[in-house]
Each structure stands twice: as C-alpha cells, then as structure tokens.
Amino acid sequence: MDKMIEIRWHGRGGQGAKTASQLLADAAFMAGKFVQSFPEYGPERSGAPITAYNRISDERCCVHSNIYEPDYVAVVDETLLESVDVCAGLKENGAVIINSAKDPEEYRELLRGYKGRVCTIDAREISLRNLGAYFPNTPMLAAVVAVSACVDREQFLQDMEGSYRHKFAKKPQVVEGNLKCLREAMDEVKG
C-alpha cells in the first residue's frame, strides 16, 4: 500500500457503524499500519443516520477533518440509500459496499449516478448462519477488508483469530463462528 486509504461508514445510531470503523482500525493497526477511526455525531438518538470514518496509512496522518472524497464507502443499513447520498465524493476507482442480500446492479439507480464498483454482502445471512444472531459488523468488516485490500487477507484472519481468542477467552466456543463469518464474508461479497 503506497498511499492512504480513506473509508466512510454510513449507518444508523445503535447499529454499530462506529464500532465497525473501530474494528477496521484494530485490524489495520495489528497489521502494522497507522490508523484513524472517528465518528461524526449529529443528534444522539437511536436510528438517526450516523457517519464514521477511517484513515489507514503507512505514516501518521496529521489531517483531522472529516473525509469528503473517500476511497471506499460502507453502508451498514441499506434503507439509508433513499435518504442519504452515500456515494457523495466517492472516488470512481473505489467502491461502495452495501449490507444487503440483493445483487449489486439492483442498486445502481439508488446510487445517484455512481459509476464505480458496487458490492453487496448479505451480512444478515452470514451472521445468522454462523452465530445464530444478527451481528452485521463482523461480515461488514471482512467485506470491507476484502474489497479495499487495506490489509492482507491471511494476516487479517490470523490477527483477528488472536484478537477473538483474547476477547472471548471465557467463551471460546464463539471464536470459530466469528472466524467463519469473516472467511465466508470475504468469499461471498458480490460485485
């Protein structure tokens, strides 16, 4: 990676877009990168659209503004597409990654003329299949890593395994499910 990668997350308050951006920062940090993860808060209420950001680079980034021309956009809640111009400023050689069971081409019209790559990931299905409950962050994280290649796949999976074994030291039975979530999301992302 010879330049900085900038990522913008769109979600609704309470869905974990901020957490997802923090997880991505963790993954990149473990891979030796310099990271930024920061939320942009509007009114603090459940369900309101929120934005979170990542910068990932090989050197410390001194810029502390929001990101207006991201390389990648991750949309945790597809219902936002009708009200928020998620692709605003998104680079055409980048990609938008939407949490949805649909095919990427079904979103073209909603994306207000974005000509770059559109990807979808069925985070609900993958999460239910492996964890028995809906945690969209884990598959979304893996999909963003797969599409952006901001971290090497094998290193990412290895670091995350270490992180899960530490985090879930008292319930090791959930580690395998989370790891399967990551692997399957990386394989199943469409577009």
Partner 1 sequence: MSIRERLSGNEAIATAMRQINPDVFAMFPITPSTEIPQYYAQYVADGRVDTEFITVESEHSSLSACLGAEAAGVRAVTATSSAGLSFMNEVLYVAASSRLPVVLAVACRALTGPININHDYSDSMAERDSGFIQIYAENNQEVYDNYLQAHRIAEHPDVRLPLMICEDGFITSHAIENIELEEDEAVKKFVGEYHPENYLLKKENPLAVGPYGVSNYYMEARVAQAQAMKNAKKVILEVAADFEKTFGRSYSFFEAYKMEDAEIAMVIMGSSAGTAKAAVDQLRAEGVKAGLIKIRVFRPFPGEELAAVLKGVKAVAVMDKSEGFSACGGPLFAETAGACINMPDRPLMVDIVFGLGGRDFTVDAALSVYDRLKNIAATGEAGELYTHMGQRER
Q: Residue numbers of the site for partner 1 (CB under 8 A)?
A: 22, 25-26, 29, 34-39, 41, 44, 60, 62-66, 68
Quote the least distance from Cβ 52 to partner 1, whole Å: 10
Which CB atom, from 35 or from 175, has the smaller least distance to partner 1? 35
Minimum distance from residue 139 beta carbon to partner 1 (Å):
21
Cβ 155 to partner 1 shortest distance, Å? 16
Query: In terms of CB distance, is 43 or 113 closer to partner 1?
Result: 43
Are the C-beta atoms of 104 and 87 separated by less than 8 Å? no
User: Of 55 and 118, which has the nearer Cβ to partner 1?
Assistant: 55
Q: What is the DSSP string of 80-143?
A: GGGTS-TTTT--TTSEEEEE-SS-GGGGGGGGTT--SEEEEE-HHHHHHHHHSS--THHHHHHH
* Closer to partner 1 by Cβ: residue 61 or 131: 61
Task: Specify the pairing of strand 95-99 against strand 72-75.
Answer: parallel
Q: How far is the CB of 53 from partner 1 (least distance, A)?
A: 9
- Among candidates 70, 50, 54, which has minimal Cα distance to 10? 50
Pick between residue 52 and residue 123 the one whose CB is nearest to partner 1.
52
Q: Which amino acid is at 173?
A: Q
What six digits make up the tokens of 172? 């090791």
3-state secondary structure of 42: coil
**Minimum distance of partner 1 from residue 50's CB (angstroms):** 12
